[in-house]
Structure 1
Amino acid sequence: MPHYFSPGIYVEEVPGGSHPIGPIGTSTAAFVGVAPDRTAHVDRAVPVNSWSEFLRLYASGERPESTPLARAVFGFLDNGGTRCWVVNVGEGGQLTGSGRRRTGLQLLEAVDEVAILAAPGFHDPVSHEALLATAERLRTMVAICDPPPGVDDVSALTRVATARDGKPAGSAGKPDDDQTPKAYRPRQSDFGAFYFPWLRVRDPINGELVATPPSGHMAGIWARTDALRGVHKAPANEPVRGAVDLEYLVTRPEHDVLNPKGVNVIRYFAGEGIRVWGARTLAAEAGEWRYLNVRRLSISIEQAIANGTRWMVFEPNDFSLWRSIRRDIGAFLTRVWRDGALLGRTPEEAFFVKCDEETNPADVRDAGMVVAHIGIAVVKPAEFVVFKLSQWAGGAETETIGG
């Protein structure tokens, strides 16, 4: 209590009881690759907010050579992305280093805002593993994996590749056998996505028509969908800005094979152009994280709750704290439900927050822990829209004419 020494009226400001939990950003991407200027800011994570800024930082010189990294950053910004982090690994660089100094993907571990991860130009199994392992370890982002160029056998996209599949024929560790089935699919993961095929775009640096991996453009579509509809909306059935053609035109029967395997196909539709026609992760077909928007929404909710409840650390672990947890998280999830991200006609149907004596018995409190159980009913995308069509006479009487 403060001390007062003379009679009078004193007004004190006291903190409010509630601590609102705010949403977090989900549209910041990170790209790791080789920049047009191989020597520019090597092994540094640098934020980029515009194409002109990227050119100034990474494409100095009179005639810079374009790279998949440059085309990915342009595709990201062109498709609705507004901010990304760039790591230039330089000529002959690797996604991960073996020394004590952080390099490549490791540099992004200290950047909290990254929610989308890609490495345009790195599409071998070892690179896929590095991307997925980083996303799984941090649990704050989803990695986009690119297929190799020139794929003409789509069945190879359904077979999981190993490090041997990333080596050229005749190299050490892989038999020089033309009969060995090719495999290109990354392994199963709840924190990864895989798109096919490559895009044909007008290069933003030299103006030539070139093929480029899809990860940059897809990351931009994720960011655009987040801004316009919310992270709970699947980033699919969206046009790919800047794509003038596809390296491979997937047929409907081929798509029937690829989609259950978690391969998100980019299709051309007459009159509609080139569109993303898949919204799956690399999770198991029957897994609860097989839809991309479900995975990304859960990440955003987890991060928002973690950031918004940090004030609770070291607070007395009693009924008052448990009530605050239920109140603050409940208010936050109510806003998420009102945005259309959770399934249910009422908040009670959409989520629950339980934090009481049952979740915090004496042994839990003695260990210095407070435990809350949170359940959410996430809206899943309408991936298969089915209309059952049959003939109907409409109740009209039929009349026979003639004899």
Structure 2
Amino acid sequence: MKKFHSTPGASIHKASFLPPAIEPASTSTAAIIGSFPKGSMTSPRQVRNWLAFEKEYGGLTTDALSSHCIKQFFNNGGKVIWVVRIGTRPIKGVSPFLRGLSLLDRIGSFNILCIPQTEQLPDTHAVKVMQAAIALVAKHRAMYVLDVPQRDAPRQTVRALTTWVNHQSNIHHPNVAMYVPRVQVPQSLKNATQQTISAGGAMAGVLARTEQQRGVWKAPAGTEAILHGVQDIEQTLTQSEMGQLTKMGINPIRQTSPSQFVAWGARTLSPSSEWQYLSVRRLGLFLEASIQQGLGWVVGEPNDEPLWAHIRQAIEIFLQSLFRQGAFQGQKAHEAYFVKCGRDTISASDQTAGIVNIMIGFAPLKPAEFMILNIQQKAKPFGEV
């Protein structure tokens, strides 16, 4: 069970007040850590279009792998991305990446993380970067689009990928997604030569675009999940190979026409079936973030029945609005979600300590079962004046 603590607000709420509305949290802000031709290395910047990025960090060059990924992010519908610059040329050591993750930790307001230059690192260094990245996205309720290291050995074939993934126990996490094969994009704006890069930047854009157009609960896969700006893919996967990858939680990219490529899978690398679907995991993270942020007013309130009723009311109104948008399964609200906050979730000792336990169940579009979220909030200890 997770513990969430909020900073007390300045307003005073009385027992008869209407709970403040829970506002939807952002789910489409990306972040990238990498080398760029220029720009600050101590203060990450948020950029909202390619021209702004080009002005502050430089344009496309042959070895600017991360710049190409940002270009793909904007090409595919991404709107906002944090840029964390850790150098000018390809980085060989671990320290710059860890420093970049530390800088990003201070920002916190991101939902999708890309570190495309991981593929240029030796395996031992890449593992350390990936472990730190996974810890960071777990902390901030974000998704990490993982890129496979290619320096020590080429890992383009399904057999090589399978061997590598099966030996990486630490990457099997519900907040991690992986896409193969790599994609081929124009080497520069004026040069028709192709460059092969990871699909992470393009897929970060597809995730953002899908959320903006259809909602975070829509799986970013299928005929709508087109990768714009991609000219080719590194290899064509057979139906059997795509099935094998999907079973491992790896999402294949498929060519559907001579000039069109789509994401053909939407899974996480979760070791359990509960969070194996990317849309379900992102919906769960979205609900946790929105509800925690929306219940900031709870701090300082007496931990008793009136507060619990207000919490249930606020969350149910929020979930009902999502239900009407098609976020859950079920024909009626009671088939789609439930909220518990009261004597069945809060013990006498919890009440005395000012701990509010909230249980939320929701029926995502995939799979059909109820998923359970346990949220813990802080209130005023019972009996304290």
Q: TM-score range by the shorter chain?
A: 0.7 to 0.9
Shift of 1:125: 3.2
Write out per-residue CA displacement over residues 306-357 of structure 1, whole angstroms, 9 at most, x where no aligned residue.
Answer: 0000001110111110110010001001111111111111111111111122
Which secondary structure does the structure 2 equivalent of 1:72 belong to? helix
Shift of 1:294: 0.5
How far apart, CA to CA, are the structure 1 residues paired with 2:67 and 2:171? 27
How far apart, CA to CA, are the structure 2 residues paired with 1:346 and 1:95? 54
How far apart, CA to CA, are the structure 2 residues paired with 1:300 and 1:94? 35
Match of 2:287, as an amino acid?
I
How far apart, CA to CA, are the structure 1 residues paired with 2:211 and 2:52? 23
Give the structure 1 partner of residue 131 of structure 2: 129
Which of the residues 79, 84, 88 maps onto 2:81?
Answer: 84
How do 1:365-380 residues align onto structure 2 when only pairs under 5 Å count?
Answer: 365-380=351-366
Which secondary structure does the structure 2 equivalent of 1:371 belong to? strand
Which of the residues 181, 189, 194 maps onto 1:197?
Answer: 181
Which secondary structure does the structure 1 equivalent of 2:328 belong to? coil
8 Å contact from structure 1 (residues 160, 185) kept in 2: no
Shift of 1:220: 0.2
More strand by percentage: 2
How far apart, CA to CA, are the structure 2 residues paired with 1:129 and 1:112? 18
How far apart, CA to CA, are the structure 2 residues paired with 1:152 and 1:328? 49
Which secondary structure does the structure 2 equivalent of 1:144 belong to? strand
Which secondary structure does the structure 2 equivalent of 1:241 belong to? coil
User: Are the structure 2 counterparts of residues 269 and 352 from structure 1 closer, same or farther at C-alpha, using a change threshold of 3 Å?
Assistant: same
Which of the residues 137, 148, 154 maps onto 2:158?
Answer: 154
More helix by percentage: 2
8 Å contact from structure 1 (residues 156, 184) kept in 2: no
How far apart, CA to CA, are the structure 1 residues paired with 2:93 and 2:300? 39
How far apart, CA to CA, are the structure 2 residues paired with 1:227 and 1:368? 37
Give the structure 1 partner of residue 197 of structure 2: 212
Shift of 1:225: 0.3
Matched, 1:113 2:99: no
Q: TM-score, normalised by structure 2?
A: 0.82
8 Å contact from structure 1 (residues 145, 215) kept in 2: yes
User: Are the structure 2 counterparts of residues 321 and 139 from structure 1 closer, same or farther at C-alpha, using a change threshold of 3 Å?
Assistant: same
Matched, 1:246 2:233: yes
Shift of 1:55: 0.9
Give the structure 2 partner of residue 35 of structure 1: 36
RMSD: 2.5
Which secondary structure does the structure 2 equivalent of 1:303 belong to? helix
User: Are the structure 2 counterparts of residues 146 and 92 from structure 1 closer, same or farther at C-alpha, using a change threshold of 3 Å?
Assistant: closer
User: Are the structure 2 counterparts of residues 64 and 92 from structure 1 closer, same or farther at C-alpha, using a change threshold of 3 Å?
Assistant: closer
% of aligned pairs identical? Answer: 34
User: Are the structure 2 counterparts of residues 216 and 64 from structure 1 closer, same or farther at C-alpha, using a change threshold of 3 Å?
Assistant: closer
8 Å contact from structure 1 (residues 36, 66) kept in 2: no
Write out per-residue CA displacement over residues 105-136 of structure 1, whole angstroms, 9 at most, x where no aligned residue.
Answer: 11111223200001012124333323222212
How far apart, CA to CA, are the structure 2 residues paired with 1:298 and 1:271? 36
Shift of 1:139: 4.1
Q: TM-score, normalised by structure 1?
A: 0.79
The size of the alignment, in residue pairs, is 341
Give the structure 2 partner of residue 257 of structure 1: 244
How far apart, CA to CA, are the structure 1 residues paired with 2:96 and 2:81? 25
Match of 2:255, as an amino acid?
Y
Which secondary structure does the structure 1 equivalent of 2:148 belong to? coil
8 Å contact from structure 1 (residues 157, 263) kept in 2: no
Give the structure 1 partner of residue 381 of structure 2: none
Matched, 1:72 2:60: no
8 Å contact from structure 2 (residues 249, 270) kept in 1: yes
How far apart, CA to CA, are the structure 2 residues paired with 1:76 and 1:321? 43
How do 1:184-333 residues align onto structure 2 when only pairs under 5 Å count?
Answer: 187-205=171-189, 207=191, 208-237=193-222, 238-270=225-257, 273-284=260-271, 286-333=272-319
User: Are the structure 2 counterparts of residues 279 and 381 from structure 1 closer, same or farther at C-alpha, using a change threshold of 3 Å?
Assistant: farther
Give the structure 1 partner of residue 50 of structure 2: 51
Give the structure 2 partner of residue 351 of structure 1: 337
Segments of structure 2 that go 5 or more residues without pairing to the other structure are 1-13, 120-125, 369-385
How far apart, CA to CA, are the structure 2 residues paired with 1:153 and 1:185? 20
Which secondary structure does the structure 1 equivalent of 2:287 belong to? helix
Match of 2:19, as an amino acid?
S
How far apart, CA to CA, are the structure 1 residues paired with 2:93 and 2:352? 43
The structure with higher relative contact order (CA 8 Å, sep 6+) is: 2
User: Are the structure 2 counterparts of residues 328 and 95 from structure 1 closer, same or farther at C-alpha, using a change threshold of 3 Å?
Assistant: farther
